[in-house]
Structure 1
Amino acid sequence: MTMIVRDLGLSLRRLREARGWSQEQLAGHAGLNRSYVGEVERGRAIASIVTVEKLAAALDVSVADLLCPLSARSHTTVAFAVAHSSGEGGA
């Protein structure tokens, strides 16, 4: 498994869990199969750029947020993305 595949899976799982969503809920929002979402999260499937775009849109984050290694991202950025998508951002 390449680092980018692993990082995508970890980012996907973290953002999904931060929203309190199951894999099935994320799959529904993204128009994907639940088992495929699980495979991507575990790094067992390599998502196409179209799939990454669907997942990013479903999570209301940028493609870069999904592809950026977690270690390079601050917890504040993740917290802001979650707060923003749930309407807690205050604007």
Structure 2
Amino acid sequence: MDESVNKEFDSWLRRRLADNVRRLRQEREISQEGLSANCGFHRTYISQIERVRANLTLDNLQRIAEALQVEPSTLLAP
């Protein structure tokens, strides 16, 4: 079996996404609940993303970007 399969996964990209979502949301003075509502998500979903607990789909990435009025790539940028 390939050893790389057994290595612990580094979720650096999800951490970057979490930091960017939090920063942009706070800059726009939107609560987690408000952003969730604007995206059509359950009220706790944004919290899970910001705590790196959720592995979201590209569709949800696009919904968040639209709600924050940014390009999806902005959410993944360093």
Please confirm whether the aligned pair reaches a TM-score higher than 0.5, indicating the same fold: yes
2:30 to 15, 21, 28: 21
1:46 to 55, 59, 62: 55
- Name the Cα RMSD after superposition: 0.9
Separation of aligned partners in 1, 2:39 and 2:30:
12
Structure 1 length as normaliser, TM-score?
Answer: 0.73
| Equivalent residue, structure 1, for 2:19 | 10
Structure 2 length as normaliser, TM-score?
Answer: 0.84
Separation of aligned partners in 1, 2:42 and 2:64:
12
| Equivalent residue, structure 2, for 1:60 | 69
2:46 to 9, 27, 37: 37
Q: Give structure 2 stretches of 5+ with no counterpart.
A: 1-9
Aligned length: 69
Secondary structure at 1:28's aligned position in 2?
helix
Hey, which of these two has a bigger chunk of helix by percent? 1
Provide the identity percentage. 36
The ranges of structure 1 where at least 4 consecutive aligned residues each deviate by more than 2 angstroms after the TM superposition are none
Separation of aligned partners in 2, 1:49 and 1:41:
16
Separation of aligned partners in 1, 2:56 and 2:23:
17
